[in-house]
Chain A
Amino acid sequence: MKGLGELERSIMDVIWAQPSPVTAREVGRLIADRDLAPTTVMTVLDRLTRKGFLVRTRDGRAWRYEPAESRDAYIAELMLGALDLTGDRSAALTRFAQAVTGTEAEILRKALTGLETELEDE
C-alpha cells in the first residue's frame, strides 16, 4: 500500500497522459494494476482538485477531471523559483549559484577555461 502522496503522483501522471478530461472510473481503470477502491480514487481526485492541481466539470452524474496546468508548466514554474527569476525577492529557497546574463557568462567562461587547464596540468 503506497502513501497518499505517491497515489496523488500516479493519478496526476495518468491524467496528464490523457488527451481529454477523464472521470474517476476511467482513472481507476487506467491504473488498474493497483487494486484501488473507487472511493480511494475519488478521495485523491478530490484532494488534488482542492489543492488546485485538477479542474473538474460536471458531465451528467459524474465529474470529469483535467489538469489545471501541464506538467511542463509546473516544471517551468519550479525552475523560475529555482533560478530566482520570479522577481519576488523572497528568501524561500537557498540556491547554489545565481543565474548570470550573457556578457557576464563570458567572464566566467574564461575563468573556467583557465582553471580547467590548470587542473589538467596537475
Chain B
Amino acid sequence: MTAAALATLALVCTVGAWRLTRARWPYRAPHVAIVLWQALGVTWGLAGTGALLAYALSPYGLGVLNGLHAFVTSVLGGHGPPEPYGPPRILALVTGLAALAVLIVVLLAAGAQTSRARHRHRALLALIAREDPVVPGVRVLDHPGAAAYCVPGLRSQVVVSEGTLKLLSSAELTAVLAHEAAHVRERHDLVLLPFAALRRALPWSRVVRDAQSEVSLLVEMAADDVARRYCSPRRLATALLRFGTAGSVPAPHGALGATGSSAVMARVERLITPGPALPVGVRYSIVVFSITLTSSAPLLWLIPH
C-alpha cells in the first residue's frame, strides 16, 4: 500500500525533524547535519502530499504519478474516474493537490521575494557603498553600527560597515571575511531558502520554526568551520562576541528572537573547545541515509502498487 508507506515516511520525517532539533551531534558535523535536514525537508513535502494522492488515486492501480495522468485523461475524456470513487478519495485528491500547489507556490514566491530584495540591496550598494584599501574587494557601508554580511547570487558581494572596521582587530576582520567567503562559496542562501519558505507557509508550526532556526545556526557553524582553516578560531570567537556586544541596535517591533545570545554562545564554545569530530563512519552513514531518504519518496510516487 503506497499511501500507507508514504504516510509513514512523512510521519518519520516529522518525528525525525523534531528529534534532530534536540540532538547534540549536529554541532559536531554541521555540514553533514545540513544534508540530513535537506533530505528530511524534501522527503516530508513529497511524502505528505504523495500519501494523500496515492490514497485518492489507488483505484487506478498505477501509482501516484501515472495515476494523476490517468485521472486527468479519464476526466477530460468525459468518462469520469473508475468506481469506487467516494467523497473521501475526492477530498484526499483536492487536499493533496492543494498542499502540493501551496508548497510549490510558496517556494517560488520566496525565491522571487528574495531575488527582489537582493536586487534592491545591490542597486543601493552600487550607489552608496565604497571601496576601502583596508579590505580590497569588500564593499564598505558608512554606518557606525556593526554589520558584516554577504549578498548572495551569481556575483556575490561581501559587505561590512564602517563600524565593523572600527570594532574589530585586523586578525578578527580576516576571520569574519573568511566566514563570509564560506557562505558565498557554499551557497548557504540556497540551503536556507526552502526552510524560510516553509516557515512562511506554516508560521504556526513549532517544528518548522525550530527547524528553520536550527538550519540557520548550522549554516553559520559550517561557515565557521571553513573559516577556521584560514584564521585563528579564537579570533573568530572574539569577533563573534564583539559583534554581539556591539549590538547597539534597538529591537523594533519584536523582530528579534530570544535565541540571539545562545546561538552566539554555541558557536563561540565550539570554536574555543571543539568537541571530538563525529567519526567518519557515522558521517558516511548519515549521508547515505539522507540519500536513501531523498530517493525514497520519488520512488514511491512512481511505483504502481
B:214-248 near A, CB below 8 Å: 219-220, 223, 234, 237-245, 247
Question: In whole angstroms, how far apart are the Cα atoms of A88 and B179 in the complex?
Answer: 24
Stretch at the interface among A23-31, A32-40, A69-77: A69-77
Q: B174-208 vs A: 1/0 string, CB under 8 Å?
A: 00100110010000110011011001100000000
| Cβ-based interface call for B113 (8 A) | yes
| Cβ-based interface call for B251 (8 A) | yes
Query: Within the complex, which residue of B151, B180, B255 is in contact with A84, where a contact is CB–CB below 8 Å?
Result: B255
Label chain B's interface by main secondary structure. helix
- Count residues of chain A with CB under 8 A from any CB of chain B: 45
Query: Within the complex, which residue of A88, A94, A99, A102 is in contact with B189, where a contact is CB–CB below 8 Å?
Result: A94
Q: B266-287 vs A: 1/0 string, CB under 8 Å?
A: 0010001000000000000000
Stretch at the interface among B1-9, B45-53, B55-63, B142-150: B142-150
Tell me the minimal C-beta distance from A121 to chain B in angstroms: 12
Query: Within the complex, which residue of B113, B219, B261 is in contact with A94, where a contact is CB–CB below 8 Å?
Result: B219
| Cβ-based interface call for B133 (8 A) | no
Question: In whole angstroms, how far apart are the Cα atoms of A13 and B245 in the complex?
Answer: 34
Counting contact residues on chain B (CB < 8 A from A), the size range is: 35 or more
Q: What are 11 contact pairs spanning A and B, CB under 8 A? A: A9-B126, A53-B123, A75-B128, A86-B255, A91-B192, A91-B195, A94-B219, A97-B220, A98-B260, A105-B247, A109-B245
Residues of A within 8 A of B (CB): 5, 8-9, 12, 51, 53, 71, 74-79, 81-102, 104-105, 107-109, 111-112, 115-116, 119
